[in-house]
Chains A and B, each alone.
Chain A
Amino acid sequence: MPHRLSDRHLSVLALAGVVIALGWILPNAYFLRIATLVWIFALATLGLTVLIGQAGQVSLGQAGFLGVGAYAAAILPTRYGLPPLATPFVGAFVSGALAFLVGRPILRLKGHYLAIATLGLGFLISLVLTNEVGWTGGPDGMQVPRPVVFGVSLSQPSTWYWISAASLLIGAWLVLNLDGTTTGRAFRALRDSEVGASVMGIDVSRMKLRAFVLAAVYASVAGSLLGLSNGFVTPDQSSFLQSVELVTMSVLGGAHSVVGAILGSAMLVLLPQVLTVMQDYETLVLGAIVVVVMIFLPSGLVPALVDLTKRLTR
């Protein structure tokens, strides 16, 4: 299908255009930081696009993997002298392995039961990060050493803008490509009907496990980037609320859509900043927006917009 192929590349190119334009336009460290956070959380949400949107499984423990990635960036260089820029890869491997081990038993569960099991996993990781003071610095968090490349310390907000944007582009390109592969089709079959998929000869539990591991790796890399760009990590990053926020980002923008993941995380990162003028009502407004979107646009913002443009151009 040559048409699909060009579509896919067009999306990534358009995204790259936006990234480069923003990189030029954004005037100061504050705006660059906000954009960086959007890219980082979008990367974590992309994992959920695969898990929720494509494979139809729910995870409420995604922030746990975000935490594993973040603490990999903090612990490995401080205690084992690993170069900081290698930590996202090691963190991703650890998260992937953890998701693989834990995923095997819990992915036999369905629906609410799966959600609760992943919730428990997220809580466990968060508890370990909070309580193992000797390793993680406890609730006060710990410092992340700045990566030094060719004698230059990477601490500028603009540097991290480009690093996170490049990671997002690669991540988005991979997810878009996945859609057309056998695995991608198997994921979709799984989402529509598990029974149907297994009748078609798809190894259901193996496919679920693949999606789960992939989502964990995405969250972990995002966590490492967050830790490295902040120069500091705390266990907040692995909290239950953070997991809920990630799922909200995914569902709000449109769980099937790559652009939706980015739009969803952009909304959740930007809204608290815009709403500071009505700080007391921030949570209320945020909640109301989510409820309204879910009632009137149940498939998320981006799919709804796509539908609308289709209807208007018809």
Chain B
Amino acid sequence: MRTLVVAGLLSIATVTVQAQDSVTIGAVLSVTGAAAFLGEPEEKTLRIYVDRLNAEGGMLGKRINLVIYDDGSDANKARTFATRLLDDGKIAAMIGGTTTGASMAMLPVFEERGVPFISLASGISIVEPVRRFVFKVPHTDRMACERIFEDMKTRGLSKVALISGSDGLGQSMRDQCVAVAPRFGVQVVADEKYGARDSDMTAQLAKIKAVVGLQAVLNAGAGQSPAIVTRNFAQLGFSNVTLYQSHGVASKSFIELTGAASEGVRLPSAALLIAGQLPASDVQKPVVINYKQTYEAATGQPVSTFGGHAYDALMIVADAAKRAKSLEPGKLRDAIETTKDFVGTGGVFSFDAKDHLGLGPSAFKMVIIKNGDWALAD
């Protein structure tokens, strides 16, 4: 009981501490739970960069007060925290929604209250149909499919087997890939599934291996499953078949987990993973190198593209605030929608009234794993 009282007093205290000359940015992220591998780097990134922005004078001279709530990867809790953020005080903008589920659960509240909401989740349903106050920064699953099939087409591969996890990314990407495959002349010859927490996918891959004329295998999934699929794929010894992974593979730990098995694996990725190898002419190079160094110095951990999304979202808000010369949510929204050629870690963003994603498939670079490191494929 005493803890309760103390906690209650503390929460009141924190509310009164908020100075007049500050602006509140809210965030609801999945720092714990099933999606923690996404939410954790997002949280760290936001804390690092809000501190940096504050050291440089905040937003329009006002100190940024960052309020992060952890939804424990539960969409229902995310919704509650979203309402809390809006009712606790005026927030200028909202970042987050680590997963598509949490984002979809929260966005009606922000639409209703008229506060800009920038989601960090990949599902296309967040920005389709376009909602006035809802934006998102990560690439969509459809773009990943398009980029992969484009690569297959140029390499003359047309018979692909899909294998997908039962997680959000896996299911939505599988559907998108099946839908866009005909446009690239790609034929889906097998369609296997596995549970998001399965520890072995040999059975599914063995079935795929039996398909005659198979040229490529595409795995759609995030978390630990891509590493397991890659290892099982190597153990089964496919001959003349390329393994493609999705953008759900987004950090160096994938290569560490798979070792030699991941040699030759191809995947679409944001520029961040291959920051060091980008040609000097690449507009994203300074941004991604800067983010990589800052993040790695502050946390001692390798960067992932997920943290990069949080960086993009925060900086887009900061950029919009400068142009709007106001921190009023409505004006901020208008400024976000008119963002043009903003260089982030995920790509170059240009929003407009019909496009609240602002990225094209070219935002993805095709990456191949060579000698235990990422390399640009083309």
Contacts and interface: CB of A to CB of B under 8 A. Distances in A.
A28 interface: yes
B87 A29 contact: yes
Contacts of B80: 30, 33-34, 37, 273
B362 interface: no
A94 B125 CA distance: 29
Interface in A230-253: 230-232, 234, 236-237
B10 A277 contact: yes
Contact of B7 (A130, A143, A275): A275
Interface string A107-147: 00000000000000000000000110100001111010000
A285 interface: yes
Contact of A274 (B8, B100, B171): B8
Interface string A271-314: 01111111100110100000000000000000000000000000
Contact of A140 (B10, B11, B125): B125
Contact of B86 (A30, A34, A234): A30
A282 B81 CA distance: 15
Given A277-B10, A277-B14, A140 B77 contact: no
B11 A274 contact: yes
Contacts of A277: 7, 10-11, 14
Of listed B77, B87, B101, B175, residue having the most chain A CB within 10 A: B101
Interface residues of B, number: 41
21 contacts: A28-B87, A29-B83, A30-B84, A30-B88, A131-B166, A133-B171, A133-B175, A138-B171, A139-B168, A139-B196, A230-B79, A231-B108, A232-B79, A232-B104, A234-B101, A234-B105, A236-B75, A237-B76, A274-B7, A274-B11, A277-B10
B79 A140 contact: no
Contact of B87 (A30, A37, A138, A276): A30
Interface string B275-315: 00000000000000000000000000000000000000000
A263 interface: no
A157 B80 CA distance: 11
A143 B87 contact: no
B108 A276 contact: no
Ranked nearest first, the 7 interchain pairs of A and B with the lowest CB-CB distance are: A30-B87, A138-B171, A139-B168, A234-B101, A140-B100, A234-B75, A28-B87
A29 B167 CA distance: 32
A226 interface: yes
A230 B78 CA distance: 11
Given A30-B83, A140-B99, A276-B69, A232 B7 contact: no
B74 interface: yes
Given A29-B87, A37-B80, A141 B105 contact: yes
A28 B85 CA distance: 12
Contacts of B167: 139
B177 to A, nearest CB: 13
A234 B78 CA distance: 12
B3 interface: yes
Given A141-B101, A157-B83, 8 more contacts: A30-B86, A31-B87, A33-B83, A138-B166, A141-B100, A231-B108, A277-B7, A282-B70
A177 interface: no
B76 A230 contact: yes
A107 to B, nearest CB: 29
A273 B84 contact: yes
Contacts of A193: none
A155 interface: yes
A130 B20 CA distance: 46
Contacts of B75: 141, 232, 234, 236
